[in-house]
Amino acid sequence: MIKFLFKGILNDKSRSLLPVIVVSIGVALTVLLHGWLTGVLGDSIAMNASFNSGHLKVMSRAYAKDDTQIPNDLAMLNADTLTGTLKKSYPELDWVRRIRFGGLIDFPDSLGETRAQGPVVGWGIDLFSPGTSEIERFNLRNSILDGRVPSVPGEALITSDFAGKFKVKTGDTFTLFGTTMDGGMAFKNFTVSGMVRFGSSVLDRGAIIADISDIRKALGMEGAAGEILGYFNNGLYDDTKATALMTDFNRSYASDKDEYAPVMIRLRDQGGMAEYLDIANAMGAIMVSIFVMAMSVVLWNAGLLGGLRRYSEFGVRLALGEEKKHIYRTLLYEGLLIGIIGSIAGTAVGLGASYYLQVVGVDLGDMMQRSTLMMPSVVKTRITPVAFYIGFIPGVFSMVMGNALAGIAIYKRNTASLFKELEV
């Protein structure tokens, strides 16, 4: 029977063409929107994790209370020892020390006088250790527009937008002014080894990256670090595992009442990331529900129109003795086949469009110049295994539902009046 119905669908274009087109469009939009949201939210979460939050973060309790203000006077003094302990206790994560800071950088002229000044945010990260993962995590090699990654003490990277604003070139020197861990005045000279663009307007306005050893010397933080970040070795955040690790670590320091005792927090607990993660987890169900309802209404109407056109056909089949439930069942089978055909076509189109946007992306830099969110300015889709089947849920379900609703009219036919209808 399936083969017979399939031939009927292929031969009778007036019965199947419109529903297939509607299903294909709906499925393509579902797949594309899923890829778009997965890319936007995924890239935003990954960028925040790479630059600020980590998958897990260890700070002193005092620092954690005001971590958005980067209070380096409350940083951990035994950061090197604690990092070693974390690596032994939780080897499934890559643990790195960092110092975040703010300051002012001064560019001199040929006479050594101030030529330009500007505020910056900065990161002191591990750039010199053999096999360091920080260079890849910050995507420095691919983000450098001119110059190279710092390789010797006294070198630093600055963002290209900031460099262009003050007409700075690779090899120029500048002085970083800041505040030491003890509250004193800090200053240190650096050489620009390269200029980078991260693709986020928040970062590209003005940022500096140097090795943590240089920042420790500049800010009087020898052996200290504001934050120790942990990243799962597979690169993916797992909230269940992160919660278990956080609970275990904090339990071991529960009896320590020192405000400088370390505390561990998850990515989810930082900077409003909980909302991002919840949306990312729920977006598939939300999209499927929306498209199922929307397409069911459209296909219901299409089914009603098709039912009116096939009114005589159903009458003939009933008059010949075919049961109403059998006609209704074949109508559902037709809906299932049309839904599968449309879903295959729509998924192919949606994946094609998603792949193109995954490679090329959409540059929203002009719209995000004043944005305070850390997210890439070039937004790209991301194709995941879910994208290959998520479109079949609204595509098949909505088509079957539309035919099911439209087919109810079959049971309302009065068999006694069939021959009178057929004579007309």
User: Which pLDDT tens digits describe the chain residue by residue (424 residues)?
Assistant: 556 555 655 566 666 677 888 888 888 888 888 888 778 777 777 788 888 889 999 999 999 998 888 899 999 998 999 999 999 999 999 999 999 999 999 998 877 788 888 899 999 999 998 889 999 888 888 888 899 999 999 999 999 888 888 888 999 999 999 998 888 888 899 999 999 988 777 777 889 999 999 999 999 999 899 999 999 988 888 889 999 999 999 999 988 888 899 999 998 888 777 776 777 667 667 766 777 677 667 766 665 665 556 666 666 777 777 777 887 888 888 888 888 888 899 999 999 999 998 888 776 655 544 544 455 556 778 888 888 988 888 888 877 877 787 777 666 666 655 555 555 5
pLDDT number for residue 372: 43
Structure-token pair, residue 164:
């262009």
pLDDT of residue 391: 83
Chain centroid to CA 254: 34
What backbone torsions phi and psi does residue 54 show, to the nearest 5 degrees?
A: 65, 180
**Angle at CA 155, nearest 5°, toward 112 and 124?**
115
Which among 229, 255, 253 has a CA at the least distance from the CA of 242? Answer: 229
4: how many CB neighbours lie within 10 A of its CB?
A: 9
Backbone angles phi, psi at 155, to 5 degrees: -105, 155
DSSP 134-178: HHHHTTHHHHEEEE----STTEEEEEHHHHHHTT--TT-EEEEEE
pLDDT at residue 365, as a whole number: 54
Distance from the Cα of residue 103 to its chain's centroid = 30
Report d(CA 214, CA 147) in Å as an integer: 19
Q: Whole-angstrom Cα distance, residue 102 to residue 119? A: 8
| Sheet strands (E) in 338-381 | 362-363, 378-379
Rounded Cα distance between 294 and 301, Å, is 11
pLDDT value at residue 9:
59
Quote the pTM value.
0.71
3-state class (DSSP) for residue 413:
coil
Total number of residues shown for the chain:
424
Q: Residue 84: in which H helix or E strand, if any? A: helix 79-89
Tokens read off for 98: 């960092």
Tell me what pLDDT residue 11 has: 60
β-partners of residue 174 are 190
* Rounded-to-integer distance, Cα 171 and Cα 195, Å: 10
